[in-house]
Each structure stands twice: as C-alpha cells, then as structure tokens.
Amino acid sequence: MTTVQTESLPLVFHHRSPQFSYTLTDWLQTRFQLLEPDDPNFPNLSHSVRALAVAGPSPLTAENIRQFPSLELVVCGGVGVDHVDLAECKRRGVKVTNAGDAFTADVADYAVGLLIDVWRRVSAADRFVRAGLWPVHEIFPLASKLGGKHVGIVGLGRIGFEVAKRLEAFGCEIAYNSRRKRTQVPYSYYANVSDLATNSDALIVCCASTKETYHLINKDVLTALGKNGVVINVGRGALVDEKELVKFLVQGEIGGAGLDVYENEPHVPEELFGLDNVVLSNHTAVCTPESMAALKSVVIGNLEAFFANKPLLSQIVIE
C-alpha cells in the first residue's frame, strides 16, 4: 500500500495487489510524489486522503475504508469491483470508478480464443505433436467447428456484447442471460441461466461477481448444458461452482472448459491438468500492452478529473 502526494494535489492512497501493484506504482510516480505507509508521518496523513487507488483484486474492506475519514473516491484498476465493500462506500457517499472499456476488447478476444481452442482442440493438438505422438498415433480425435453453434452469453455487458459480435462473424447463434433484457440487441434472452444452458452448445461467463451471481453456474446449469456442452469463464472464479465443474469434467458429463479465472487463485484444481478438453490460463485475459496503456489513461484520468472537479471517466452506479 502506498500513498502519493504533490504540492498541488491532496493525498491518494494506493491499495496494492501483487498482480498490478508495481505497474500502478510506476504510473502514479509519473504524476505524484509517493509516500510509503511506514513513513513516520503516515498515521498523521490518513485523515487528509480524499482518493484511493485499488490495483487488481486485493480486497478493500470496510475496515480499510474507515481508515480514511475524508475519503471521497475509490479508483479501481479492474472492471470488476466485487473486491470493494460497496455497501460501505455507499454508506459513506464515496464514489467508485472501474477500468471502463480499457479491457473490453482484449477480454472478448480471449474468451473467443478459449472457445476456439476447446472446440478445435488447438492446445491438445499442440501437446500431441510436441509429445512425438503424431508418427506413432496417426489418428487425432476429431474437433468441432464453430459455425452454426448456439452460444449462450452469461452477462451481456460491455465484454459480453463484444464477445457476441465476434462470434456472430463465425456464424454462431447467440443468446444471453442478464439482469435485465436489452431491447436493442437481436439476441434471444433467457431470464433463467438453466434455460439458456439447455438451448446452448457453450456458455461464456462474463458477468459481474456479486452475492446474487455466486455459483451462478452450478450443478443444475451444468446438467442442463449436457455432455457436449462447453463452459468458458473470463469473469470471476466464484461465478462457477468449481467443485461441481471439476466433477462434471472428470466424469465426462460436459464436453469441455476454457478457464482464465478460478475460485482460489492462484491455485487451480489439479484434476484438470490431465484433461485434453480443458484449456487453462492464469487470469491473463486482460494482460496486453494495449490494455495496460488504456488502463493507465483511465486510472490517471479519473484521479485528475476528481481533483479538478470534473466528471469522472468511469464512475459505476452503486445499487
């Protein structure tokens, strides 16, 4: 955790997370003078902090927030804000911003990439060749095409909508589940995720992680998806009941999965390591130089707008 200070701006507290803390520190250093929490003057400065920057998924609890009686703004370095105690922010009247569209295109690309990899068996074929199995076993299991498949998108927000547009280009039929029906999209809407799964060949999970969406993809949904169904998760690990998903995959009760996020990161269920119908990555869908540059603009832009009494770039609505 780091605070920053300049002659012209009040303090900003930096709530560190191992994944992005160094990058965010570097960005803040270009605009502010950093003050480390172990500085002797730190206890005397917390009351002056009006803005707080959160890097990555490190939890920002009510206890953390109460350390700063003058706090007015929390700037998050990600799209999801489930790691922030929004109830405490709402109670205090603290505004919250997220990464806006900084990650949208890259995460959508990655979700489609995972789906292609699972259905076309790209990673499995790579392992087959590298293991020297091609000359020994000439026949490799058939893969599946994308065109004509029915894909259900769980969460048709910014990322979900971009995923839908990309899959339309492959000739996929798109349907979705979301908190509310979107009147200006041509896709079929299902109010119930199990109904969406029943009518889909794959589910792409990219909704917000909340108390209401915890384990949204559960045993009933996986059963409805069926033996040939595929789950892609680029949202948060807690959206999927991981134990049930592992059980279904190991027992061959669903067709495959592409996972970028997990319930207990960085720990990934070892049962998945030997499955050729599962593609795993390390919460890296957002990580490109382009998305990091866009994120820097949003984080710094929100802070500068706040201190200049201008509209924030990506303020969220706290319900």
How far is the C-alpha of 92 from the C-alpha of 268, rounded, in Å?
A: 37
Q: Tell me, yes or no, if 236 is annotated catalytic.
A: yes
First to last CA, the chain: 28
| C-alpha–C-alpha distance, residues 252 and 240, integer Å | 17
Q: Is 120 a catalytic residue?
A: no
**Catalytic pick among 91, 137, 265, 271:** 265
DSSP per position, 121-133: THHHHHHHHHTT-
CA dist 210 to 28, 48, 213, 215, 235, Å? 29, 31, 5, 10, 11
- Select which of 121, 236, 242, 244 is catalytic: 236
Q: Answer yes or no: 283 catalytic.
A: yes
Question: Which H or E run includes 176?
Answer: strand 173-177
Q: How far is residue 251 from each of residues 238, 245, 255, measured CA to CA in Å? A: 22, 10, 10
What is the number of other CB atoms lying within 10 angstroms of the CB of residue 160?
28
Where does residue 197 rank: exposed (0-12), middle (13-18), buried (19+ CB within 10 A)?
Answer: buried
The residues annotated with a catalytic role in the active site are: 236, 265, 283
